[in-house]
């Protein structure tokens, strides 16, 4: 805490991981001797920079850019770029820290990093977004590269933003390489990357409920928060697997549709018109809109998939979900449940899949995009989707088995932290301490 004053999200993420590692530390004194715990909580490098740009009225605006290169023990830094007014050093550090373990869990050779800016793309014109992205990349391009650090999308950064950033990188560096993932299909993007986090979340959840409760999505009522990239494709896959998704949200409020969300309407509003979820009730009969996003957790459901942002489920919301009979919760967003909420779920015997494991499908598919860029080939949708499914299934089993091995059977939070940690820790140990 003294080293990272005021960084509450970062400290929250570190505490959760370190608590899970207590049995590992007891069993593996060699890792403590190699100083792994002290080293892993310190980013290898943090870059903070000024991002000036000119708005449509000719006025100069200044935002702050971040890139945290947290850990490169098992591969080049990899992690998204978040564009949201709440972005600060603490948020980027928590995301970068979690990314180390998530990336390790995918089984692919990628290290952990994260970046972003306090720029808010909402309400900005395409021209403003482009000028911001170009200015952001003008500095960032000095620090990244296809074999060094490969950023991707996150909140506020979709195909449009990645396109502008890629264009600027190419212009400055005069090289066409896989320096970013989440690219458009015509210039090196991977099929199924758009769907990957949401689909992957459902593959993980399916495996979790099958193996631990002999259940499936079929006939289950599902509540999903958010209405961005992760929420939309989680809705698509959950519906395809037989679930009925009855609610979605944004930071203003949520919609409840007892007949099951009509995803074509949502895609039109969010992906084409860049509108608000509220608009849904003007187009679909029988749906209701409620102001305030946390009310979504009072809706009765069997499975809850938080896919908006950090700390969106607190203790009270968790209790409401449990009282309404939820039997499984899996995190599509990063750290959407507070530590108190996680305790409520675990004490009530609710199956709980943590973000690091459950939402790793996005970054896994980004790594598959890197592979395709390296060999200058494109794989089919089916090929990528099959690999994604296989990766998510393995993540569940590896986490489950790690928890069991360390006497914590059924605790998927501990399992994900332990399994993700061990691979990175061993790599750090064998690579020696750099003087």
Residues annotated as catalytic (active site), given as ranges: 114
**Does the protein bind ligand NDP through residue 362 (CB under 6 A)?**
yes
Q: Which residue is listed with tokens 């264009």?
A: 167
160 C-beta neighbours (distance < 10 Å), count? 16
Q: Is 102 annotated as a binding residue?
A: yes
**Does the protein bind ligand NDP through residue 228 (CB under 6 A)?**
yes
DSSP run (H or E) holding 427: helix 412-431
Q: Which residue is nearest to ligand NDP (CB)?
A: 228
* Position among 72, 104, 117, 229 found at the interface with ligand NDP (CB under 6 A): 229
Cα angle 41-47-52, degrees, rounded to a multiple of 5: 145
* Position among 226, 243, 354, 420 found at the interface with ligand NDP (CB under 6 A): 226
Report the alpha-carbon distance of residue 354 to residue 2 in Å, rounded: 28
Q: Is 99 annotated as a binding residue?
A: yes
Q: Is 153 annotated as a binding residue?
A: yes
**Does the protein bind ligand NDP through residue 250 (CB under 6 A)?**
yes
Q: Is 197 annotated as a binding residue?
A: yes
Shortest CA distance to 132 belongs to which of 102, 101, 156, 107? 156
Minimum distance of ligand NDP from residue 272's CB (angstroms) = 14
Q: Is 181 annotated as a binding residue?
A: no
Q: Show the site string, 277-316: x = touches ligand NDP by CB under 6 A, - = not.
A: ----------------x-------------xxx-------
By CB under 6 A, how many residues form the interface with ligand NDP? 23
Minimum distance of ligand NDP from residue 94's CB (angstroms) = 10
Shortest CA distance to 304 belongs to which of 350, 369, 263, 267? 350
What would the 3-class secondary structure string for 134-148 be? HHHHHHHCCCCECCC
Q: Restricting to residues 146-175, which ones interact with ligand NDP according to CB under 6 A?
A: 153-156
Report the alpha-carbon distance of residue 204 to residue 105 in Å, rounded: 13
Provide the Cα torsion 289, 295, 296, 301; round to 10°. Answer: -120
Q: Is 429 annotated as a binding residue?
A: no
For ligand NDP, the closer CB: 63 or 334: 334
Contact present, 315 and 288 (Cβ < 8 Å): no
**Does the protein bind ligand NDP through residue 359 (CB under 6 A)?**
yes
DSSP H stretches of helix in 181-311: 193-213, 229-240, 263-267, 280-283
**Contacting range for ligand NDP; rule: CB under 6 A; set: 184-192, 213-221, 249-257, 341-349:** 249-257
Q: Annotated binding site, which residues?
A: 78, 99, 102, 153, 197, 229, 366
Interacting residue ranges for ligand NDP, rule: CB under 6 A: 153-156, 197, 226-231, 250-252, 293, 307-309, 332-334, 359, 362
Q: Annotated binding site for substrate, which residues?
A: 78, 99, 102, 153, 366
């Amino acid at each position: 805490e003294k080293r990272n004053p005021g960084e509450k999200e970062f400290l929250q993420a570190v505490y959760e991981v370190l608590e899970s590692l207590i049995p590992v530390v007891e069993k593996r004194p060699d890792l403590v001797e190699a100083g792994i715990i002290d080293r892993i909580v310190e980013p290898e490098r943090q870059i903070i920079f000024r991002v000036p740009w000119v708005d449509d009225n000719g006025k100069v605006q200044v935002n702050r850019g971040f890139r945290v290169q947290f850990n490169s023990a098992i591969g080049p830094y990899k992690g998204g770029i978040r564009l949201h007014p709440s972005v600060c050093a603490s948020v980027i550090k928590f995301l970068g820290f979690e990314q180390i373990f998530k990336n390790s869990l995918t089984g692919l050779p990628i290290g952990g990093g994260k970046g972003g800016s306090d720029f808010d793309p909402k309400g900005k014109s395409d021209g403003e977004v482009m000028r911001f992205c170009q200015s952001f990349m003008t500095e960032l391009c000095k620090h990244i590269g296809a074999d060094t650090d490969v950023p991707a999308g996150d909140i506020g950064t979709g195909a449009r933003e990645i396109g502008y950033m890629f264009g600027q990188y190419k212009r400055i560096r005069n090289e066409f390489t896989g320096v970013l993932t989440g690219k458009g299909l015509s210039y090196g993007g991977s099929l199924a990357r758009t769907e990957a986090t949401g689909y992957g979340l459902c593959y993980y959840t399916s495996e979790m409920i099958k193996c631990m409760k002999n259940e499936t999505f079929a006939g289950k009522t599902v509540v999903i928060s958010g209405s961005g990239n992760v929420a939309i494709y989680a809705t698509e896959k959950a519906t395809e697997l037989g679930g009925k998704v009855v609610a979605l949200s944004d930071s203003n409020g949520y919609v409840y549709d007892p007949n099951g969300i009509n995803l074509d309407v949502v895609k039109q509003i969010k992906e084409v018109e860049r509108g608000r979820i509220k608009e849904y009730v003007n187009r679909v009969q029988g749906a209701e809109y409620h102001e305030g996003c946390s009310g979504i957790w009072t809706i009765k459901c069997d499975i809850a998939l938080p896919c908006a942002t950090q700390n969106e489920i607190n203790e009270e919301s968790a209790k409401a979900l449990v009282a309404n009979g939820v039997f499984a919760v899996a995190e599509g967003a990063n750290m959407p449940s507070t530590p108190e909420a996680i305790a409520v779920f675990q004490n009530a015997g609710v199956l709980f899949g943590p973000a690091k494991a459950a939402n790793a499908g996005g970054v896994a598919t980004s790594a598959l995009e890197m592979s395709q860029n390296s060999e200058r080939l494109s794989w089919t949708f089916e090929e990528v989707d099959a690999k994604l499914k296989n990766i998510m299934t393995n993540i569940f089993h590896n986490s489950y088995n790690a928890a069991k091995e360390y006497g914590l059977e059924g605790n998927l939070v501990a399992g994900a932290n332990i399994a993700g940690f061990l691979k990175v820790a061993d790599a750090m140990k064998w690579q020696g301490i750099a003087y």
